[in-house]
Chain A
Amino acid sequence: MQVIRTEGLTRIYGDTAQPVYALNGVNLSVDEGEFVAIMGPSGSGKSTLLYLLGGLERPSSGTVWLRDARLDSLNDEALSRLRRTQLGFVFQFFNLIPVLTARENVAMPLILDGVKRDEALRRADEALARVGLSERGAHRPAELSGGEQQRAALARALVTNPAVIMGDEPTGNLDSRAGEEVVKLLRRAADEWGRTILLVTHDPRIAAYADRIIFLKDGQIVDENRLKGQGNADHIREQLGKVAIR
């Protein structure tokens, strides 16, 4: 089932005399439970694409569908509500509120949505357990490592049970180990919890976890690699297993 679809998605900056096409006629569709990585050089439009898909920006032309909702035709209030309930975001610099504990940070989207404090905190604890942070809920962001902060941010993105999780370079500020933990959690979110994952990254090792990689250049899709179920793991295992001893 398609959860995201775009047609002719375009975003133009600058005046009509010298328009800059951040995104130029992108057609994309993502199925439920898919893990898609979006890659490309600086200025390729990958972050713009993510923000348009997440309703954080409006397109200049073209359409974006999130399930049955056409994002480009919703008013600000409807878009805001959709973002709170259907979408979860994870950013490179964590964006946690420093004066709140991890638990309170994770509960925040629910509280903003009118859920009672006790219920919100209970669900926050559940989300923290999923990302392996049960013992750290009472700590403030400054007392958490980078990897822990990002996992808290992921818990916050998951707490509203959104259909789609979007990440903009979520491992960009983490070391290899912490980054691996985060991407493994995102992989679980797709495999075990049925979320659709959209990840902008420039890290090949992170992108390799995806089912599909989309490559952008100059605002257009230039290549798509389907990774899932394509290759021959046994052959690789055999190749690697041969150590050269003479």
Chain B
Amino acid sequence: MSVKHTLLALLYQRPMHGYELGKQLALTVSAEWDVKPGQIASTLARLKDANLVDYEVVPTDDAPDRKVYALTDEGLEELRTWYLSPEVRDYRLGDAFYVKLVLSLTGGPVPPEQVLMVQRRELYQQLHEVTELHRKADAQTELPWVLLLDSAIMHLEADLRWIEMCEARLPELKRFTPPKPEPKARGRPRRKVPQPEDQSAN
């Protein structure tokens, strides 16, 4: 997700200065703002260069002058385009557990049944905790948090259903044997087969 577009989206609400933007984001999405300090300022500078925002210098009594930023028409268009473009989900399906499961199918000190069981236990524990958090959350005052919890619940459910499916397919999965690699030729390269010119020399 980009800082640039987040700032444009916030500025749609009203013009703000840099510090306000940082605070408003954390309050809106209710998440940890995992961004280096100074990044908002540098992003605003780039947005200004690209003519997506403009600023007004506002003098304040007991503090340095502030730059209050606002969207330009181009900025609004850019924001609209962003909202209308789908996002790529960034979770990796081929993760550590997937690799572990496949390897366990090829044989090892622990059978795949147990590998699945261990993972299932962990996932149910997490689903239980997230369900508890969901129960305690207030949909009126903590909506973004509730949405996040809903997402966590559904993804955990999907993971658990996949594990269930793997368990059901174990008999066929255990028949999997990976191919062995081709042996690599070693030593000096062999001489080429003699050409007709060579033979005539003998």
User: In this complex, what residue of A is CB-closest to B135?
Assistant: A184
Q: How far is the CA of A205 from the CA of B156 in the complex (A)?
A: 9
With A204-B157, A204-B160, A205-B157 in contact, is A245–B6 under 8 Å at CB? yes
Task: Say whether B61 faces chain A, with CB atoms less than 8 Å apart.
Answer: no
B-facing residues in A202-246 (Cβ within 8 Å): 204-205, 207-210, 213, 222-223, 225, 227-228, 230-233, 236-237, 240-246
Which of A205, A236, A241 meets B31, CB within 8 Å? A241
Residues of A within 8 A of B152 (CB): 240
The size of the chain A interface, using a CB distance under 8 A, is 27
Of all chain A residues, the one with the shortest Cβ separation from B30 is A241
User: CB distance B34 to A240 under 8 Å?
Assistant: no
- Other-chain contact of A245, B35, B130, B133, B164 (Cβ < 8 Å): B35
User: Of all chain A residues, which has the CB nearest B167?
Assistant: A41
| CB-based contact B34/A244 at 8 Å | yes
Q: Contact partner of A225 among B1, B32, B124, B148, CB < 8 A? A: B124
Secondary structure type dominating chain A contacts: mixed
Chain B hits for A241, CB < 8 A: 30-32
B110 within 8 A of A: no
Q: Note all chain B residues with C-beta closer than 8 A to A243.
A: 1, 29, 31-32, 34
Count of CB-CB pairs between chains A and B under 8 Å = 81
B49 CB to nearest chain A CB (Å): 19
Query: In the bound complex, do residue A245 and residue B128 qualify as a contact, i.e. CB atoms below 8 Å apart?
Result: no
A175–chain B nearest beta-carbon distance, Å: 14
Q: Contact check: which of B1, B133, B135 meets A237 at CB < 8 Å?
A: B133
Residues of B within 8 A of A204 (CB): 124, 127, 156-157, 160-161
Residues of chain B from 1 to 37 with CB closer than 8 A to chain A in the complex:
1-3, 6, 25, 29-35
User: Contacts of B131 on A, CB cut-off 8 Å?
Assistant: 205, 208-209
Report A216 CB to chain B, min CB distance, Å: 12
B residues less than 8 Å from A232 (CB atoms): 129
Give me the interface of A with B, judged by CB distance under 8 Å.
41, 184, 204-205, 207-210, 213, 222-223, 225, 227-228, 230-233, 236-237, 240-246
Instruction: Pull 20 A–B residue pairs with CB atoms less than 8 Å apart, ordered by A.
Output: A184-B135, A205-B127, A205-B153, A205-B157, A208-B124, A210-B128, A223-B120, A225-B121, A231-B128, A236-B133, A237-B133, A240-B152, A241-B30, A241-B32, A242-B32, A242-B34, A243-B29, A244-B1, A245-B33, A246-B3
